[in-house]
Amino acid sequence: MAGSNITFSTSSILFFLALSNSLIELSHGHGYMYDPPSRSSVWRVGFPVPEYEKNYNDMQLNCGGREAQHYDQVNQGRCGECGDEWKLSRPRPNDEGGIYDTGFISQTYTEGSIVRLTVNVTANHFGYFVFRLCPKQTANELVTQECLDRYPLEWLKCQDKVTVEWTELIFTLAVRPVCTFQVFDYQHSGGLLLKN
């Protein structure tokens, strides 16, 4: 109706704000690396991990959550390299040497090979993935964000990110870097508001 005034009560506005906030909270990424499995998920594919070392929340490595990542005075939007809250002391729970590091090497690749990665998205919040790796000289060397940022995986189809869905993703493992140990990193940027 042209010229009509629409008014909302205070309780209606508060309800809408509460509903909006709960939807934003649901936008955290929910998924895990299935192939190769992350150190936090190797138990899902048959590695003999003791019960006390299994991370049953491996699909929720979302930097400690929205509040912790974006509104904490220390974290200031930062995320731990393996999905933990940034301000936790290293090694963080999912880092090398953390409580979920079982010591297993979940996959071995050769230089220049075609790599198939599979991510299981347990709650699709849209968005996209970016994949990187970090060469390491020893198994216990901690990964840094700077290292991961230097080595994005080269997509076989010339993309630098893929939209979220349960799928097998194909990359060429670059001739560089040559190393004994590598850490694959996948970053899920949710499509519903905040990046995790």
Measure the CA–CA gap between 161 and 138, rounded to whole angstroms.
29
**C-alpha span between 116 and 170 (Å, rounded):** 5
Per residue in 102-148, pLDDT tens? Answer: 999 888 887 777 878 888 887 766 667 778 888 888 888 899 999 98
Please give the residue range of the domain that contains residue 126: 30-59+104-189
Do 154 and 3 meet the contact criterion of CB atoms below 8 Å apart? no
Is residue 144 assigned to a domain? yes
In a domain, 13, yes or no: no
Domain assignment present for 15: no
Q: What confidence tens digit (pLDDT) does each residue in 43-84 have? A: 999 999 999 999 999 988 888 988 899 899 999 999 999 999
DSSP-assigned states of every residue in 2-20: TT------HHHHHHHHHHH
In a domain, 97, yes or no: no
Q: Tell me the per-residue pLDDT of 73-100, one tens digit each, with 9 for 90 and over.
A: 999 999 999 999 999 999 999 999 999 9
Q: What is the CATH number of the domain that holds 124?
A: 2.70.50.50
Name the maximum alpha-carbon separation found in the chain. 71
Does residue 88 belong to any structural domain of this protein? no
Global pTM reads: 0.70
Is residue 23 situated within a structural domain?
no
Number of independent structural domains in the chain: 1
pLDDT at 20 over 70: no
Is 150 part of any domain?
yes
What is the CB-side half-sphere exposure of residue 164 using CA atoms within 13 A? Answer: 23
